Structure 1
């Protein structure tokens, strides 16, 4: 029995395909209508005599053509046929063709072939029971025409058999095409499901790649970018509030390492720093084979994180070492210092011996200072980072430094024109700045006789990474010593321990900042602290 809603349970994809096929089928009906109408002008008298009702055939042919032309104009005007429209149109089609079958020569005419085509098309266009209903209607009409013609027009009973065969053909076409349509529909559903799964998987892969901490770049053989994830863009071009255009080529530093890897793929390239970032990046390369040519996959790693982990391991080892040497060295050193102080108070010492005791005491104090710095480095706790507004915090620090230092110093402060936010442990930042300012004031006084220093706050070009420049008026650092200035125990001051700058850099690295010496001809000596983006957590 035909359901009340033919579209119930019909997949949307099948309905869309039926609408497209219905347009094609209607073009076919227009052509058939034109042929039927055109044939009216070429019938001979013997052919005319074979018609049951020529006038009815002429009227039916003209109506068939006019109806299909009208439907064609509706489709051209934008009508989107539903299943109900298709079913109604196919029923009218079958009824008109059976009317032409009756008015012509009966079941022996070629109109029966047109009915078979209509039934076949209907079972392709319609889904389920409507197609079977169309075959049953066609078989019933054809059989009724045959019986009527046998009774009223004394036709041969074989026409009833012939109409029965046509009915069987109608149902056979219906069931065969229904089965084929179901298979095609199932294949289409499977293809759509797989396409959906592939699209979801592609989206998932894209999200995973974009959220990875490792930078990923895909480039062609000529170095033109095909894809870059968010981590890679941060490592090469750190984010800023301004909208940055998407790069199309590799940065020059990365392009150089790509060219080097092509020549020697087995050799690991050296880390590099992009022009707008202080982050040191390690690039690794591999090829992606394609049907045509090769793409190159580049992995970018932030070596500061690896260095931070190595630093923690180093500090742990240093802590175990200093725990042992504290007892073995400080106790004898304390005895030496105490004995030297007692010896220096003796009235029997001549000036030469007095000078020797001063040397012993001074170097004993220096050794004790080295041990204190090493213990401080090994015992340093994990940074307790907080967001600081650098201009405000630095002004308060300068006021506290001048108030508690007990020295006369001239500190010039040049703040950033806008708010500069950083993420840093405030106590550790105070320790680093105190060390750098003490050094700067000391070297400025040695050269100029005045304790002067300048603190500048700014942002790196095209980024929102804040920095502090600590500029003194001292003699600067020679080019030979620049590469060693941050090494432990390296110093050019006979009274220094050589651990101040090393300790300051270690503290900055622990807070994901960078301490560098800026060799600028416009300044005598400048140390710069470049902070990580304040929204970036360690």
Structure 2
């Protein structure tokens, strides 16, 4: 996702970035103005108007101004990074050239003054207010100074020119003010339009990403059954067709048939169908882009496997809550039965048969209590509190604690780790429960007949650098058909098992962004592998690493 774009609307009075087309217009107008000055200076000899008291200086002025205008036009693109300086230099050149033209071509003073007004107005579009007023004042003072000079040199002339130049000066100030306000509004509108365009582009990218990553397949089909667009889910549900295959009838004949039936009759077939071999079944839905317009149709493909998984999750969640309430009700009478059995076992008047019956009661009470504990864990989804763990130290600490709390007898449980730290992020309590459950299963079932169990707890990095913890035994292993179901809830092959241990272990692993999987060991045995999340940053010196 693209990053949010900051607003670029210029504040009033600030020196804004000059749009390229306005700077081009400014320089091209100057070029035309210089061409007019040059044409007047090189007028034919038979023309007596305008009068040129100094033809040579007038021609030099026209050629110099034309050359400067050509240079500024040629360098417009290179001047984009310093526009204010270029505009200011151009206005100084225009005012100086206009004043010299007034002296050398006095008969066309009205036209020169009017063209200078265009220069002042265009500059005001591109410059801050203070600079715009400065150049308007400079042009006005220059023209009034020229008029005053002419009046002192020619005492008999009229005061009309002084009034005319004064009026032109007032027009310069008015044009500069109005064009500055207009330019500021134009820049603000352009900046707002650019911002809206960027926001729209960002929104379009977000919408495209959402549609592309939707679990529901989406296709856009025209009236000739040609596919215009489809997202990733639709592409996979249709069997991963190549990019040049766009005909719906060829790719998915059944979907094309249902679309035709919906277009002609308006009825929707809601039965599930498979669009390609090896893909999940889908339920197609159709929608027009516009009412009463069949030119383009949106097709939505609902994956039935996703719906089934969602229904299964809801069922398990409801079952967990129901089982928890039942377990709470069973716990109190169970405690009373167990306590009574313990008291009965202490009686001295019981024969061996009665003692055996009491032992059976205690064993089944313990099993029932374990079932209740598992059901309560199923209903309690505690939020994980991840910490940074050194798994190399953690597995040794776990094995030491486990041996202290459990009598292994002839069974062997040992920790294996390399010399370097294996750093991961996980909730220590959740990881403790997961590994404890896996070790219990390995010690209980991972043994050959008549031999003690040999279990290893290994901490290492995978080939991809992912931190993993493995519980490995040297037992008979798990048949492939059984291995495909061992993580399902309530699935067990043991007559006294609950079928919840491995399911709970996988749920806790997923709550810590970890993955629990079964790996068959070559030569016999089983391996349960927990792939954990590496830390976001690589630590050269390991900080206070948490243990169990």
Same topology, TM > 0.5: yes
- Indicate which of 108, 119, 122 corresponds to 1:121: 119
Q: 1:174 to 1:436 in 2, by over 3 A?
A: closer
In structure 2, do the counterparts of structure 1 residues 445 and 200 end up closer, same or farther at CA, with 3 Å as the change threshold? closer
**Number of aligned residue pairs:** 447
CA distance in 1, matches of 2:387, 2:469: 17
- Note the 1:336-415 alignment, pairs <5 A: 345-346=350-351, 354=353, 358=356, 360-361=357-358, 363-377=360-374, 382=382, 385-402=386-403, 405-411=407-413, 413-415=415-417
Q: Distance between the aligned counterparts of 2:121 and 2:430, measured in 1?
A: 81
| Inter-partner Cα distance in structure 2 for 1:18 and 1:456 | 72
| 1:57 equivalent in structure 2 | 55
Aligned partners of 2:413, 2:120: CA distance in 1, in Å? 93
Unaligned runs of 5+ in 2: 1-11, 125-131, 218-229, 241-247, 260-269, 274-284, 290-295, 538-548
Where does residue 441 of structure 1 map in the other structure?
Answer: 443
Corresponding residue for 2:103? 99
Matched, 1:89 2:88: no
| Cα distance in 2, alignment partners of residues 38 and 433 from structure 1 | 100
Residue 324 of structure 1: aligned partner: 329
- By how many angstroms is 1:98 displaced? 1.4
Pair 457,386 (structure 1): closer, same or farther in 2 beyond 3 Å: same
Whether the aligned pair in 2 keeps the contact of 1:21 and 1:125 (CA below 8 Å) is no
SS in 2 for 1:471: strand
Partner of residue 256 from structure 1, selected from 236, 249, 257: 236
Consecutive unaligned residues of structure 1, counting only runs of 5 or more, are 1-7, 210-214, 224-248, 270-284, 348-353
2:466 and 2:531 in contact (8 A); partners too = yes
SS in 2 for 1:474: coil
Take 1:268 and 1:171, find their aligned partners in 2: how far apart are those partners?
81
TM-score by length of 2: 0.61
Aligned-partner Cα distance in 2 for 1:255–1:337 = 65
CA contact 2:65–2:97 (8 Å) conserved in 1: no
Q: 1:527 is matched with which residue?
A: 528
Assess, with a 3 A threshold, how the Cα gap between structure 1 residues 183 and 257 changes in structure 2: closer, same or farther. Answer: same
Alpha-carbon distance change, 131 to 376 in structure 1, aligned in 2, over 3 angstroms: same
Whether contact under 8 Å (1:139, 1:167) holds in the other structure is yes
**Does the C-alpha gap of structure 1 residues 396 and 336 become closer, same or farther in structure 2, counting only changes over 3 Å?**
closer
2:189 aligned residue: 190
Q: 1:369–1:497: 8 Å Cα contact kept in structure 2?
A: no
Seen in structure 2, the aligned counterparts of structure 1 residues 528 and 362 have a Cα distance that, compared at 3 Å, is farther
CA distance in 1 between partners of 2:536 and 2:362 (Å): 43
Equivalent residue number for residue 280 of structure 1: none
Contact 1:460 1:467 (C-alpha < 8 Å) held by counterparts: yes
Per-residue deviation, residues 319-348 of structure 1 (Å, max 9, x unmatched): 43222112234434665787699799437x
Q: Is the 8 A contact 1:343 1:357 kept in 2?
A: no
**Displacement after TM superposition at 1:398 (Å):** 2.5
| Alpha-carbon distance in 1 for matches of 2:37, 2:101 | 11
Larger radius of gyration: 1
Contact 1:389 1:422 in 2 (8 A): yes
Helix, strand or coil at the partner of 2:516: strand
Structure 2 SS opposite 1:445: coil
2:434, 2:508 within 8 Å by CA — same for their partners in 1? yes
CA distance in 2, matches of 1:428, 1:73: 76
Cα distance in 2 for partners of 1:490, 1:219 equals 34
**Contact 1:412–1:453 (CA under 8 A) maintained in structure 2:** yes
Asked whether the equivalents of residues 519 and 526 of structure 1 are also in contact (C-alpha less than 8 Å), the reply is yes
TM-score in terms of structure 1 length? 0.62
Q: Distance in 2 between matches of 1:144 and 1:26?
A: 27
Shift of 1:286: 13
1:241 match: none
Whole-angstrom distance in 1 between the partners of 2:341 and 2:27: 107
Q: Quote the RMSD (CA, aligned, Å).
A: 5.6
The 2-side partners of 1:366 and 1:498 are apart by 18
Post-superposition offset of 1:529: 2.0
Kept after mapping to 2: 8 A contact 1:123/1:177: yes
3-state DSSP of counterpart to 2:447: helix
Change (3 A) 1:90 1:295: farther
| Structure 1 SS opposite 2:448 | helix
Shift of the 20–373 alpha-carbon distance from structure 1 to 2, 3 Å rule, reads same
1:35 aligned onto 2:39: yes
Task: Please state how far the C-alpha of 1:188 moved relative to its aligned partner.
Answer: 1.8
Report the 3-state secondary structure (helix = DSSP H, G, I; strand = E; otherwise coil) of the residue aligned with 2:389.
strand
Q: Kindly indicate whether residue 21 of structure 2 is the aligned counterpart of residue 12 of structure 1.
A: no
The within-5 A match list for 1:204-219 is: 218=212
Provide closer, same or farther for how the CA distance between residues 27 and 74 of structure 1 changes in structure 2, counting only shifts above 3 A.
closer
Aligned residue for 1:405, secondary structure, equals coil
Seen in structure 2, the aligned counterparts of structure 1 residues 31 and 426 have a Cα distance that, compared at 3 Å, is: same
Distance 2:19 2:429 in 1: 71
Once the two structures are superposed, what CA deviation does each residue of 1:263-298 show, in whole Å capped at 9, x if it has no partner? 7899999xxxxxxxxxxxxxxx999x9xxx999999
Partner SS state of residue 105, structure 2: helix
**Aligned in 2, Cα 1:163/1:116: closer, same or farther, shift over 3 Å?**
farther
Counterparts of 1:168 and 1:24 in 2: how far apart (Å)? Answer: 27
